[in-house]
Amino acid sequence: MPRRARPTRLDSLAANMRAQLEPIDNGWLQLPLPGGLIIVLQRNAEHWRLALGRETVAPSDIEVDVCARAFQVPPGSEPAWTTKSRQVAKTNRVAQYHVAELTWEERHV
């Protein structure tokens, strides 16, 4: 019988973010991680979005896979790769972020 993997810190953070968004219909949360990766979890009714972005370089396939598992993204959700611009409030400069977005629906009966 295989040993069950212990939950990681990311698993705990993901569970906490999902728990905060599950009781509301519309909202989003942002989590900056070491190494410059920024995670955004967004909910709009039954539509969910997990975005992973970084200014310097796109998230790796491994980062996308690990985060998708931690945030319980259903299998078959493929990342859409894009770049997004955002003005940094402190410096007024425009930052270019490399983003992987996963979207899915969750319908509760």
| Confidence at residue 75, expressed as pLDDT on a 0 to 100 scale | 92
| 9: three-class secondary structure by DSSP | helix
Ordered domains of the chain (ranges, CATH): 9-105 (3.30.1460)
Q: In b/e form, how buried is each residue of 40-54, taking b as 16+ CB within 10 angstroms?
A: bbbbeeeebebbbbb
Full-model pTM:
0.88
CA distance 52 to 38: 6
Q: What are the pLDDT digits (tens) for 68-104?
A: 999 999 999 999 999 999 888 889 999 999 999 999 9
